[in-house]
Structure 1
């Protein structure tokens, strides 16, 4: 049953750093879910187009409004002049102040000259609230558009934007109507490190579209199939996973592993698999479209994600791939890191020590050898996702906060 549109809901406009990004399908999913809940076509602007191999997770539909910052150039001088004139006519002092003063984000003059075109894009589509994901440089433009138009804005913060580069966040969030983040772990960090008032910071958990991930038993496979999905970067711990798989093999445990994703470490990881004697047991698929990645998940016996803290301090928040696997009914094995235990709570999966191949191997051995345990984990995992990690719940919560409704500081 489709949700009933709510025409009185706030009209959200999204300003993103890069869009659409294959590794950030939770952003595209939220935008589509907000559109379905409100009956309003998406309005999205982005500073950058995705690079080669990065795009995915978004199929344009009639009525979608999508604009890129780099498309505002000298070919559009007429429209830019009209945008300046319209804003000057409505609020001359505010418009001139935004042009002459770079603001806390210290926007360059050329960006301040272009900003009215972006403002007009949102205003012409009836946007009443601006939202973004991640606290990167587009947050400076959000704050500038707020000064220019008076539109309230908000951000959802995830992982690296908090863990690696928090220094700029305080000024970027100063004028935000609210700040959302995806875990209690993150919220505690924001309150502690940035001194943000608790009533302005809300936990809004990312979620999955349950109909896309129907619950069902794992297929019988001999040997059992282990699946791991993620970008091949240090924080995903694929090297730890490979070493854990080597320990399993040395203990006589049969398996076939499929590693889905790409990234700067892929060639190093393939070389490590060969050095560990795993070349025949491990397959590197490269990047897959979300639908194909979901199929690989569905064919798996166990999903594993060996998350760890990277050398630069980066780490996962709560990986959506874990939610997808749990929704499908696959037992999951991950690590005690960041917000992951908030999803993989007691009885919903097994958690190993980050960066510890032996701990990870032991957790995998248990799931592979104890069928009753695997079944219990699978059922509890699906229930956990249904209760707190749905895409519909994510979109509804953002709409409630943008409308100024809902309990203070709660998920």
Structure 2
């Protein structure tokens, strides 16, 4: 049996990653739609668990040198091979222009990884597709120029809001060997990227949506004696969990509540210390990183999903977090903030409640929702109806599949 060479190279930051279920969901769906690709990962995995989705993917996963000094022989062999490619000189000039504006080790590493990618791509490769507009797209772009291939990207949140405008503009300009197209998962992000593109049609709005076949039917909820709240998200500034802990400390004394957090992150020790100082640590369970079945089980047992997203000091922010749609799939009421694209899914008062990240405002909203199970039920049902009508996965996959098919045919 002849093994078919992949037509597409998919470049990702790391594989597999628990926090990037949306990427795994998309790639599994693209395989099922008939696309044949290899995954090229810039980093090795650090999570100790995997989602069941990761095990469904048949694509070969190949790891580029995470740090160039760790695989010097491979890098130098690739550099020599890359120099012989017809587009190497142009790629080198493009990279040098970028390096002049971003003198960082990361920028140097991107070019080394691009040389390895360009040198090791299978001969049948017809196009490259990168998840995230920053580092993965830079590696894909340099390699695509070397090989004379088209490339594209999918942008999400941090990569849009923390990348310099000059770099985004050049990645969206035909004259600077930019992407054939870019997809992004929110209207908020799409509008920003279209303003920076030479042709607004180069940017597509493609909601991730949910593959509801992977989720159980929602449970029947009955209020218990303790009001259980759940949050899922990395412990980083943009998720706003510091504000949430401050809000928990302001809840009425008579309210019997418990908050469970799922996810890892760099602020874990800081937030645990904050909870201790605020006197609420005994009402909090920190579960750490969990796979998706564990997340769904936790959603089915909770009374309220809370995600206090905010804009971080460096401009980073959420897009439209998939966990909100996952909560809606389980009829779990939602409390969040009107940041970025969250209002694209939730009309406050109809599909959930959106308040500012002010701790008192959050505490007031939590107390009001705890006291009104009928309102929680009404909004949870409305959110699920909207999910089923507008945010399922198939439409977005069909659009992306058509784009990638055309890209590989150019």
Superposition TM-score, scaled by structure 2 size: 0.83
Q: How many Å apart are 1:141 and its aligned residue?
A: 2.1
Q: How many Å apart are 1:196 and its aligned residue?
A: 4.3
CA distance, structure 2, for counterparts of residue 267 and residue 41 of structure 1: 42
Structure 1 vs Structure 2 CA RMSD:
3.1
State the match for 1:172 in structure 2.
171
Match among 190, 194, 198 for residue 193 of structure 2: 190
Match among 265, 272, 276 for residue 263 of structure 1: 265
Q: How does 1:104-123 map to 2 (within 5 A)?
A: 105=98, 115=114, 118-119=117-118, 121-123=120-122
CA distance, structure 1, for counterparts of residue 146 and residue 140 of structure 2: 10
Match among 11, 16, 19 for residue 15 of structure 2: 19
Kept after mapping to 1: 8 A contact 2:79/2:112: no
Alignment gaps of 5+ in structure 2:
1-5, 100-105
State the match for 2:103 in structure 1.
none
Tell me, yes or no, if structure 1 residue 335 matches structure 2 residue 333.
no
Match among 231, 236, 241 for residue 239 of structure 2: 236
CA gap of 1:164–1:83, structure 2 versus 1, over 3 A, is: closer
State the match for 1:213 in structure 2.
215
State the match for 2:308 in structure 1.
306
CA distance, structure 2, for counterparts of residue 279 and residue 135 of structure 1: 38
State the match for 2:250 in structure 1.
247
Alignment gaps of 5+ in structure 1:
1-9, 406-411
Kept after mapping to 2: 8 A contact 1:157/1:181: yes
CA gap of 1:169–1:378, structure 2 versus 1, over 3 A, is: same
Match among 394, 397, 401 for residue 395 of structure 1: 397
Q: 1:364-407: CA deviations, max 9, x gaps?
A: 223222222111211111122223323333322211222459xx
Q: How many Å apart are 1:325 and its aligned residue?
A: 0.6
Kept after mapping to 2: 8 A contact 1:31/1:42: no
Q: 1:254-304: CA deviations, max 9, x gaps?
A: 221111122222122122222222122211112212221221112111111
Kept after mapping to 2: 8 A contact 1:218/1:330: no
Tell me, yes or no, if structure 1 residue 36 matches structure 2 residue 32.
yes
Q: 1:98-130: CA deviations, max 9, x gaps?
A: 578746555989976875653465444x44332
Match among 379, 382, 392 for residue 381 of structure 2: 379
State the match for 1:204 in structure 2.
206
Superposition TM-score, scaled by structure 1 size: 0.83
Kept after mapping to 1: 8 A contact 2:74/2:116: no
Query: What is the number of equivalent residue pairs in this alignment?
Result: 385
Kept after mapping to 2: 8 A contact 1:226/1:304: yes
